[in-house]
């Protein structure tokens, strides 16, 4: 199963699971959609690299994730709280994951050109 299909399946599953909930409790601490897209895309890419990395080389996935949060001036707690908000708003979450797929596809296309 390719990445796009896996991501689409994930989006559909989350949408179906949380479709009945539509609570609007966004506050100033909720990360912007654009920030969520960037963080999720980078975390997904680092997890993919971890999966294909030679087993002799140990990648500290937690450290990489912490560095990603640091890069976007946020924390795991704020990211998790933002994710909770977006999972209660499936249309917004679907938009985020659609943009994540586009961003990863763009990065993949750029890497082929280089």
pLDDT, block means (10 residues), the chain with 114 residues: 53 46 62 95 86 66 91 96 95 96 88 69
- Residue 1 to residue 114: CA distance in whole angstroms: 26
Question: How confident is the model at residue 37, as a pLDDT?
Answer: 96
Question: How confident is the model at residue 111, as a pLDDT?
Answer: 74
Question: How confident is the model at residue 17, as a pLDDT?
Answer: 45
Residue 104 lies in a domain: yes
Question: How confident is the model at residue 113, as a pLDDT?
Answer: 67
Backbone angles phi, psi at 75, to 5 degrees: -135, 165
Question: How confident is the model at residue 54, as a pLDDT?
Answer: 60
Residue 22 lies in a domain: no
Backbone angles phi, psi at 20, to 5 degrees: -80, -15
Q: What tokens does 109 get?
A: 């296309």
Residue 94 lies in domain? 3-17+31-113
Residue 25 lies in a domain: no
Residue 109 lies in a domain: yes
Question: How confident is the model at residue 95, as a pLDDT?
Answer: 96
Residue 23 lies in a domain: no
**pTM for the predicted model, two decimal places:** 0.71
**Domain tally, the chain:** 1
């Amino acid at each position: 199963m390719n990445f796009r299909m896996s991501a689409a399946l994930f989006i559909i599953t989350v949408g179906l699971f949380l479709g009945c909930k539509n609570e609007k409790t966004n506050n100033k601490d909720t990360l912007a959609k654009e920030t969520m897209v960037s963080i999720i895309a980078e975390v997904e890419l680092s997890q993919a690299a971890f999966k294909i990395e030679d087993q002799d080389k140990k990648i500290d996935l937690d450290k990489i994730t912490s560095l990603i949060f640091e890069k976007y001036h946020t924390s795991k707690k704020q990211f998790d709280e933002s994710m909770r908000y977006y999972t209660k708003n499936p249309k917004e979450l679907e938009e985020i994951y659609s943009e994540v797929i586009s961003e990863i596809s763009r990065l993949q296309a750029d890497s082929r050109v280089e």
